[in-house]
Structure 1
Amino acid sequence: MERRRLLTIVIILSLFVLSASRELKVHSKYHLPGYNHTLAKILVEYSSAVYISDLTELFTWTCSRCNGLTKGFEMIELIVDVEHCLQAFVGVAKDLNAIVIAFRGTQEHSIQNWIADLYWKQLDCNYPGISDAMVHHGFYSAYHNTTLRPGIINAVKSAKELYGDLQIMVTGHSMGGAMASFCGMDLTVNFGMQNVQVMTFGQPRIGNAAFSSYFSQIVPNTIRVTNEHDMVPHLPPYYFHFPQKTYHHFPREVWLYHIGFGSLVYTVEKVCDGSGEDPTCSR
């Protein structure tokens, strides 16, 4: 038994050595095509750029985070809600042939943002064709009940008038990811826009199981990217004893984590799909 165990360890370590400098990808049995790591690296740069506080540099796309994979981006509208400490932008990425919408996440010293984060009380989601769906009150209100929504809708319409019927990519980090998800659903359901893709980073859960199921049907091209042991994607907490009310993440999730052996680090991508709460993903 000990010899067999030792042999297994040796084989695994040998495989790690042979895969040096390569990306190791591990997928669940429910893996579906759709996750593009190159696209994820581009969108995470947009999710990072929206945090820039110098609005002039951000609007002219000359900020320190406005180079690299997002170079050449054309800003259409920069939306800032001072009262609620929220920020987002809409623009056109010609290399992606897409309208990009990015939402800023929680500002560390913003009381308004922390109140929205912690307002876990669930709110009935009144969307057509959906029943028993409940959503995070704070995040839902941050998108629907502030100046962000009308600003984004008008900017998207303007971009389509200028550039035609481009696909739409919505992104954001943390709280920004939560608002990005509501935005993607809003554009699809209430405004009939097609080819809407949502990719978020470190996003918390935003609704119960009924909402998660509904969302995955309405905006199927949605992926929540989580990273290693980030605590935020675990929130609000999952309660086994309250299945109707407990929060669920979206059925499609890519979990990025690292396995390190000395100086060797491997990036592993695990794509989870199914119930939305695969115990091997983000729990």
Structure 2
Amino acid sequence: MEKRRWLVFVVFTWMFVFSAGRELKIKHKDHGPIYNHTLATILVRYASTVYLSDLTELFTWTCSRCDGLIKDFEMIELVVDIQHCLQAFVGVAQDPNAIIIAFRGTQEHSIQNWVEDLFWKQLDLDYPGMPDAMVHHGFFNAYHNTTIRPGILNAIARAKEFYGDIRIIVTGHSMGGAMASFCALDLRVNQKERNVQVMTFGQPRIGNAAFASYFSELVPNTIRVTNEHDMVPHLPPYYTYFPQKTYHHFPREVWLYNVGVESLVYEVEKICDDSGEDPTCSRSVSGNSISDHLVYFGVELMAKTWRRCRIVMGPGVVEYSRTDLGGNFVLSRDLATPVLKLNALSEAGAKPL
């Protein structure tokens, strides 16, 4: 028995060294972005909170998912596009010292239906100003042609005026990751922002190889975290024999997976190569799991229910809202308003809209 335990220990140690050695070998190969585990575990919480339908708790930052982040974050603007079932927020965090932008993922009736639909999506839009670059029009339009973009840009301008020229970090899960990527590119290209960082979770492909090349050059500080057999990063499909005509991920992927023998399990965070389609990372597995898509670092990334676009808002936050003719609205905080006053509003209760 003792001999068997020793054998298990040796095998496990060998697997650990082999995995870690490969990661260290490529980590600084091309001077790409440096992956920060602590930052990832913080940002995944923001990607989770943006799924909340109780806008009073979210806007006042009193939600249960906000635990551990409450003292470090001040909400500035919460944007809700009712017509397209989209949601995002902008705020400022003390740790990391940055403007945080978070986009909500898909809110379809069934995530299974959304995944099946995504399998058949074709490249169908030329990205402006980038020859040969093509993208998924649905993801592009979700950011560029809804009320989300103007709300985000307005909040960033106000935040910079109040807090100074601090960096911007954009995050999101699933479809929210796709929107986060288009937002980051917009900030770099059209808004001339210099310090933009991206970290997404379970993000699908959004463009072809030409687009991925432009993106990696313009927004180099980008990390896509993928988990085990999460199926969404495999979609829309990548066809090996048509690399220029098919969807293609941009770098840098960090793939989370477990290795182990018997009761010994080691969680690997593998930093992949700069191709965007490293065959030794998530592409090395089948990508057939929805459950792996919905939990990252032990944090749930989904709404409590899959009912389409149900939101709840208390009367105390109505005075902070602006609504357009389509029923879309923004909850916007005067940056001089004490956060404690906003938190007190959450005690007034909420009602479904």
TM-score under structure 2 length normalisation: 0.71
Q: Partner of 1:7 in structure 2? A: none
CA distance in 2, matches of 1:141, 1:110: 21
Opposite residue 125 of structure 2, the aligned amino acid is D
Equivalences for 1:167-186 in 2 at 5 Å?
A: 167-186=167-186
1:87-141 per-position Cα deviation (integer Å, ceiling 9, x unaligned): 0000000121100000000114279x9499637232333333x210011111111
Residue of structure 2 in register with 1:230 after alignment: 230
Is the CA contact (8 Å cut-off) linking 1:70 and 1:93 kept in structure 2?
Answer: no
Q: Please tell me whether the aligned partners of residues 124 and 132 of structure 1 are also in contact (alpha carbons under 8 angstroms).
A: no
Q: Tell whether the 8 Å contact from 2:103 to 2:172 is kept in structure 1 after alignment.
A: yes
- Whole-Å separation in 1 of the counterparts to 2:53 and 2:226: 25
Provide the aligned C-alpha RMSD in A: 2.6
The residue number in structure 1 matching 2:153 is: 153
Aligned to 2:315: none
For 2:23, the equivalent position in structure 1 comes to 27
Kindly provide the amino acid, as one letter, of the partner of residue 14 in structure 1.
Answer: V
Shift of 1:193: 0.6
- Is the contact between residue 117 and residue 175 of structure 1 (CA under 8 Å) also seen in structure 2? no
User: Higher mean Cα deviation, 238-247 or 80-89?
Assistant: 238-247
Structure 2, unpaired ranges of 5+: 1-5, 284-353
Shift of 1:68: 1.6
**TM-score for both structures, normalised by structure 1:** 0.88
Trace 1:65-144 onto structure 2 (pairs within 5 A). 65-69=65-69, 71-109=71-109, 114=114, 118=118, 120-128=121-129, 130-144=130-144
* Aligned residue identity for 1:241: Y
Aligned to 1:261: 261
Is 1:278 aligned to 2:278, yes or no? Answer: yes
Structure 1 residues 17, 275: closer, same or farther in 2, change over 3 A? closer
**Is the contact made by 2:127 and 2:135 (CA closer than 8 Å) also made in structure 1?**
no
Structure 2 partner of 1:63? 63
CA separation of 1:18 and 1:234: change in aligned 2, threshold 3 A: closer
Offset at residue 70 of structure 1 (A): 5.4
Q: Is the 8 A contact 1:238 1:247 kept in 2?
A: yes
Q: Do the aligned partners of residues 69 and 268 (structure 1) sit closer, same or farther apart at CA in structure 2, a change above 3 Å counting?
A: farther
Q: Write out aligned runs for 1:204-219 (5 A).
A: 204-219=204-219
Is 1:203 the counterpart of 2:203 in the alignment?
yes
Cα shift at 1:264: 2.4
Residue type at the aligned position of 1:97: N
Deviation of residue 270 (structure 1)?
1.2
**8 Å CA contact 2:206, 2:249 repeated in 1:** yes
**2:58 match: secondary structure:** helix
Equivalent-residue separation in structure 2 for 1:149 and 1:204 (angstroms): 20
Change (3 A) 1:220 1:62: same
Query: What is the SS of the residue equivalent to 2:169?
Result: strand
Which string of whole-angstrom CA distances, capped at 9 and with x for unpartnered residues, describes residues 223-256 of structure 1?
1000001000000011123222211111211001
Deviations 1:54-81 (A, max 9, x none): 0000000000101124543100000000
Supply the AA of the counterpart residue of 1:211.
F
Q: Quote the offset at 1:260 in angstroms.
A: 3.4
Give 1 or 2 for the bigger CA radius of gyration. Answer: 2
Deviation string 1:33-62 (CA, Å, 9 cap, x unpaired) is 510000000000000010111000000000
Secondary structure of 1:169's aligned partner: strand
Relative contact order: is structure 1 or structure 2 higher (C-alpha 8 Å, sep ≥ 6)?
2
**Amino acid across the alignment from 2:101:** I
List runs of 5+ in structure 1 lacking aligned partners: 1-9
Q: Say if 2:17 is the partner of 1:16.
A: no
Distance 1:142 1:44 in 2: 21
Give, in whole Å, the separation in 2 of the partners of 1:116 and 1:136.
Answer: 15
Partner of 1:243: 243
Q: 1:38 to 1:70 in 2, by over 3 A?
A: farther
Structure 1, 51-60 or 272-281: larger mean CA deviation: 272-281
Letter in 2 for 1:133: A
Residue in structure 1 matched with residue 320 of structure 2 by the alignment: none
The answer (yes or no) to whether the contact 1:173–1:201 under 8 Å persists in 2 is: yes
- Identical residues among aligned pairs (%): 71
Question: Separation in 2 of the partners of 1:17 and 1:242?
Answer: 40
Give 2:43's aligned residue: 43
Structure 1 residue 28 displacement after superposition = 6.7
